[in-house]
Amino acid sequence: MKKVLVSNIMMLKEKERFDKSIRDLGYEPIWAPAEQFLSEEQCLSLVGDIDGWLAGDDRITEEVLKASLPRLKVIAKWGTGIDSIDVEAAKRLGVAIKNSPAAFANAVAEVAIHYMLSLRRHLVTIDKAVRAGEWPKPQGRELSGATLGMIGFGAIGQRIAELATAFGMKVVFSDPYQSESKIVGGKPAHSVDLDAIATESDVICLACSYNTENHHIVGEAFLKKVKRTAIIVNVARGPLIDQQALVDALSKNRIAGAGLDVFEVEPLASDDALLSFENVMLGSHNANNGRAAVEYVHENTLNNLRSVLG
């Protein structure tokens, strides 16, 4: 019987359900002891005797892939991002990589808009104050008429832009794979450079994939160009933002706030400096938690596995 390593936390949370699903496909599941994702060392200790892998954000390096041969035939990534996998090495070594592109466009876009609304209108701050017996009336800024600068304009970025235009926002974007302006939500979205994203945007939202080229794409130099009234939303990957530079900018009131679903190190440490800011909203890398999207990815990930293993 072919063996399948299961290390993604979404299936691990429903082990009984997916143990049956995997066995019904004719495979023997091997359940990994993952809390968030497997380190390279943990991966190395588990591979070599598996034919397929239902992976999460595990650190699947070239060394891990080599140790997986000759049995490993397919890595079916739960979700969209494959930045934790050495894809080029997988191609050279003949290991198929499968994922579920665009699956979370609606789910993630809704969370991104929530961050924008809550931060611009101080909704979370007001909620906390009212619960404490206060009755504050801070002045907020509407989304209508504001400029949204998207870093990344794939399926998720375009869906965020589409929802934003419904609120009356103007949209500009920067994406190395999208150089032409587009019509989104019936309105024009213009392609601009990163400097223009920094200087023109009232809301800056990251929805791009992560790679070595865009590591810390939002860093100290970028943040110094941003409007003091602007907010930054990250629903993509934590290392896209230099977290220390962001803390410094927040400390010096160089930006108005941030909504972060992802971080450079996850989970976020209990003493992280970001916890001290009232104008920062924190997530748990869970913007994709829409039920319909999750169920689709469950099914598609298993189908991806079966398409290679047979």
Which DSSP string do the residues of 181-223 spell out, in sequence order?
-EEETTEEEEE--HHHHHHH-SEEEE-----GGGTTSB-HHHH
124 plus 260 within the same structural domain:
yes
124 plus 214 within the same structural domain:
yes
At 35, the pLDDT band (50, 70, 90 cuts) reads confident
301 plus 199 within the same structural domain:
no
What pLDDT, in 10s, does the model give residues 145-190?
A: 999 999 999 999 999 999 999 999 999 999 999 989 999 999 999 9
| Catalytic, out of 122, 159, 237, 298 | 237
84 plus 161 within the same structural domain:
no
What pLDDT, in 10s, does the model give residues 228-244?
A: 999 999 999 999 999 99
Whether residue 216 lies in the annotated active site:
no
54 plus 111 within the same structural domain:
no
44 plus 177 within the same structural domain:
no
72 plus 120 within the same structural domain:
no
| Catalytic, out of 28, 266, 295, 299 | 266
Handedness of CA 43, 65, 10, 234 (dihedral sign): positive
Domain that holds residue 202: 105-282
Question: Distance between alpha carbon 161 and the CA centroid of its chain, in Å?
Answer: 16
Residue 118's alpha-carbon distances to 28, 113, 141, 193, 280, in angstroms, are 46, 8, 10, 27, 10
Domain count, the chain: 2
What is the enclosing helix (H) or strand (E) of 10? helix 9-12
Q: Could you give the maximum distance between any two Cα atoms of the chain, in Å?
A: 65
60 plus 156 within the same structural domain:
no
115 plus 247 within the same structural domain:
yes
Count of Cβ atoms closer than 10 Å to residue 24 Cβ: 9
What pLDDT, in 10s, does the model give residues 265-289?
A: 999 999 999 999 999 999 999 999 9
Given a cut of 90, whether residue 213 has pLDDT beyond it is yes
Whether residue 190 lies in the annotated active site:
no
212 plus 131 within the same structural domain:
yes
249 plus 301 within the same structural domain:
no
Q: What angle do CA 241, 267, 282 make, to 5 degrees?
A: 60
11 plus 72 within the same structural domain:
yes
Whether residue 266 lies in the annotated active site:
yes
Q: How far apart are CA 208 and CA 251, in angstroms?
A: 26
What pLDDT, in 10s, does the model give residues 70-107?
A: 999 999 999 999 999 999 999 999 999 999 999 999 99
3-state secondary structure of 305: helix
Question: Which residues are bridge partners to 115 per DSSP?
Answer: none
CATH of residue 247's domain is 3.40.50.720
Instruction: Compute the average pLDDT of residues 38-48.
Output: 97
The pLDDT score that the predictor gives to residue 236 is 97
